[in-house]
Chains A and B, each alone.
Chain A
Amino acid sequence: MRVRPSPVSPPDGTLAAALERLRRLVEGRLDQLTSCPDPADTLAQAQRQAILGGGKLMRPVFLLLVAEALGRKGHPPVDVACAIEMVHAASLVLDDLPCMDDAATRRGRPALHRLWGEATAILAAFSVLARATEVLREGLVAAGVAQVHREALSGRLAQVVETLCRGQLLDLALGPSDAALERLEAIHAQKTGALFVLAAELGAACAGIWGREREALLAYARNLGLAFQVTDDLLDVTAPADRTGKPQGRDAALGRTTFVSVFGLEGAQALCDDLIAAARAAVASLGPAAALLSAFAEHVRTRTA
């Protein structure tokens, strides 16, 4: 079944302003959380570099956007969002290790293990994961989420970390000639998709949304997460290095299997369009939240970096 995009969307300026505002919130809070006055504290410095690596902060911003769109009152759950970003950052550090993707750079900068050595990078990743758990727990308390749900959501964070590990393992096993869509989807559902879905869950919880609306939101996040990965693959082919922070065509140069390598540019774009349309349709019936979330989906589809 194919679903068509919802015609409802707010002016681009509204979304862009919201994203920028939320991104600054997250960035500022991450800066606070990772502040380290002692330059000799190697682990803390490595943590800070891992977390404040100049990323787009798409996942935490998405979480805050969900909470806001669903009508959360009061201060945004920034700590909860930061926890998501910390998990993401830790996963990137591990992904870049020589035993895995062996990436030299990340976001236009040397990869963490190139700066601090593999051991420090690994330890930094694990300590950031542990820190994320703590930040999440405190963030959920601050956000006023009931204890019963806090326990469940903390459990979900642990599940997602395990899912990320499984996704990475699958990714490592995916050879250049292995073009099976099933594998590709499974990998990204367990990596990019899992974090998007968790962000949506946390955002909904912070807004006090449960039941049917939450189910619709999770469907939105699932489609959006995979679409985000498809656009990543597309941008690797189409966007210049100064926008993405990595050399254009790097995936192809490394012989990686991507949605573009499997379906071609047009095919990948068509899949991305389908996924975005499905995401927008999923939230079309959520009332006032639909416009902002739909616009965010469109933003993911049309992003250039």
Chain B
Amino acid sequence: MSARARPSDDLARARRHLERRGYLHGGLPPAPPAAWRQITFVLALWAALSATLVGGALARTGASWAQVKVVALAVAPPLLVLFLTALLAGRAVALRLLAWGVTPQRVAAVLGGAAALLTLGGSAGILWDGLGSAEAALRVGVAAVGCAMIAGVAARRALGREFGGEQENLRAPPWRVEVLLLLAITGVGAASAVLPPAPPPGPAAAVPLATPAAAGRVAVVGVEGLSRGGLEALPAVFPADDWKEIAQWGWVEIRGAAAALPAVAWTSVACGAPPAKHGVQVMEEVRLFGGSDGIVLPATLQRLVVMIWSPLSAARVAARPSLDRRLPTFWEMASRAGCPVLVGGWWGSWPVRQVLGEVVSERAWLGGATGPDAVSPALAGAVAAAWQQGRQAPAATDLLAEELVRRAAARQGASLLALWLPAIDLATRLGGGPETLTVAAGLKPHLKLLRVLLQQLADSGYTIWLLGMPPGGGEPFAASRSVLLRGGEGSASTAELVAVWLAQLGLPPAAGGALPRPELGGTQVVAAAVEYGAPPPPVIRPSAASATVQREVLRSLGYLR
């Protein structure tokens, strides 16, 4: 044995070296983040997702900050449920895959990617409904990608924590990455919510415009459920009703009016603009926590919110009045120009607005409501009479149409009548299908009445426009004796039709809109365009109860599911 003694500083140096090499210390490594930190992280992630989705969903509506808060509160629980469900499901799937022998790296790749894709698709899907502008789409896209990245990181982090150990590549990325992503998402969401697009213009004062005096008489009759083919078949099916002449009118397809929801389609016709411009894109809204303002949410989000809150009576779905309509309808333009109007049932006319004339909105037309939001006082009695004794919608609307045509015919001078007739559509759908003989028999009285009304209007000097909206989403059409195009040779945009109707009333076209085409019946000499402004203010805002009842009416008639 020849052990050499070494100075103590050699030993100290040796200890320092061993410490540097990972010896002489050990024990349990730092504990994973405390439960409260993990919960905080999950809550922060969930809050970021909520802010993004709520912000994106409300940004396009110009919602007030108060609405944003309400929606955020309402959306939070369902999103939390979704979020936690996804976490638990992801963990279960990971365990199953590992049990099947899939390597942790592959599990992480699969689940991380799946989480990212699902979040991307889900958030984009939720936000995409109804988003029309590229700006909104960009915002949603950024938010969705951010959400997807967070989801992927979260999945890998969870896997790494549970199965990592020696799997270096499963460990979570530096916390700064997650924090930056979280901040980015929250920022996008908050910016979307706090900085909504410019709000729609306020309602125009109900003062006449300085335009040439209206001189014409025009009746625009919209028939739900009437296709061009159906109209052409009428002379053969009902020869006694003399449809031959009407079937031979000139006609055009209407561009830009096809939509799944009748309110959206007919409002597009009335405003001469697509939904992205006139603003009516849905027929339902959610009323949360007893609030007086209805809120429009994307369909998926709305379903989630209602599912969570309706058992607590904190959320209810109601029909959405067209308070957010940004453009005036053709009867509102005519009214501002001093032309008396009569409106019956046309979608977008609820709540009744301040116009020169009388309005029976779709709320009264389909539901028999007689409140000031639903019908002009002068016609409230007629509505009550039409709906008395348990009469149903097809018959009641026919009666109301008769009354309005009678009043229109009785008018002297310039006049505009806008009628929307659902009887054929309702009789067809509620009767079991167009192929049955029962339905054919059921249609007969409505068609007969329609023919009579058209004749009365013609006899009263009205230029008649018959508009048909085919069942099942076909191309709508517009027919009139004034149309020079025969056999469906052309088409017309909704803006061109509105311009023609105004021209036939002797009124100038709307500034920025289309000019009246002569082949549609417009005049050769066109007056200078005028700014018809925003829609006039409503007589009164519909109550929550009225909106809720109207939704049930629309559901019972099959206009909502």
Contacts and interface: CB of A to CB of B under 8 A. Distances in A.
A147 B101 CA distance: 5
B28 A252 contact: no
Nearest to B30: A212
A222 B23 CA distance: 7
A274 B24 contact: yes
B26 A222 contact: yes
A270 to B, nearest CB: 6
Interface stretch (A50-58, A161-169, A281-289): A281-289
Interface in A1-46: 1-3
Interface stretch (B125-133, B162-170, B178-186, B432-440): B162-170
Contacts of A147: 101
Given A216-B29, A237-B1, A264-B4, A189 B103 contact: no
Contacts of A216: 26-29
B17 interface: yes
Contact of B3 (A189, A212, A264): A264
B165 A237 contact: no
Contacts of A248: 1
Interface string B295-322: 0000000000000000000000000000
Interface in B127-179: 163, 165-167
B1 A252 contact: yes
Contacts of B28: 212-213, 215-216, 285-286
Given A182-B17, A222-B26, A237-B1, A152 B167 contact: yes
A281 B26 CA distance: 7
Interface of B is mostly: loop
A222 to B, nearest CB: 6
Contacts of B23: 222-223, 226, 275, 278
A219 B26 contact: yes
Interface stretch (A66-74, A97-105, A255-263): A255-263
Contacts of A213: 28
A152 B26 contact: no
B24 A146 contact: no
Given A216-B28, A279-B26, A285-B27, A264 B5 contact: yes
Contacts of B378: none
Interface stretch (B8-16, B408-416, B514-522, B551-559): B8-16
Contact of A211 (B18, B103, B165): B165
Contacts of B15: 2, 271, 274
B6 A284 contact: no
A2 B21 CA distance: 14
Nearest to A259: B14
Interface in B37-79: none
Contacts of A263: 6, 10-11, 14
Interface residues of B, number: 35
A199 B500 CA distance: 91
B93 interface: no
A249 interface: yes
A154 B404 CA distance: 88
Contacts of A285: 27-28
A134 interface: no
A185 interface: yes
Contacts of A185: 17-18, 21
B293 interface: no
Interface string A240-276: 0000000011001000000011111111101100110
Contact of A223 (B13, B24, B102, B103): B24
Contact of B165 (A210, A238, A261, A266): A210
Contacts of B25: 1, 3, 219, 278, 281-282
A1 to B, nearest CB: 5
Nearest to B4: A264
A189 B4 contact: no
Nearest to A1: B25
A275 B23 CA distance: 7
A85 B75 CA distance: 61
B32 interface: yes
Nearest to A277: B24
Interface in B87-145: 98-99, 101-104
Nearest to A266: B5
A266 B6 CA distance: 9
B456 to A, nearest CB: 82
Contacts of B1: 237-238, 248-249, 252
Contact of A278 (B2, B26, B103, B104): B26
A151 interface: yes
A30 B447 CA distance: 99
Interface string B486-528: 0000000000000000000000000000000000000000000
Interface in A211-241: 211-216, 219-220, 222-223, 226, 237-238
A260 B166 contact: no
Contacts of A172: none
Contacts of A146: 98-99
Nearest to A209: B165
Contacts of A148: 98, 101-104, 163
B27 A281 contact: yes
Interface in A68-86: none
Contact of B14 (A1, A181, A189, A252): A181
A237 B3 CA distance: 8
Most buried by A among B4, B26, B29, B99: B26
B29 to A, nearest CB: 5
Contacts of A271: 11, 14-15, 18
Contacts of B163: 148, 210
Contacts of A222: 22-23, 26
B19 interface: yes
B35 interface: no
A185 B29 CA distance: 23
Nearest to A262: B6
A212 B103 contact: no
B31 interface: yes
6 contacts: A152-B166, A181-B14, A214-B165, A216-B27, A237-B1, A275-B23
Please provide the 5 A-B residue pairs with the shortest distance between their CB atoms, ordered closest to farther. A219-B26, A282-B26, A147-B101, A264-B5, A215-B29
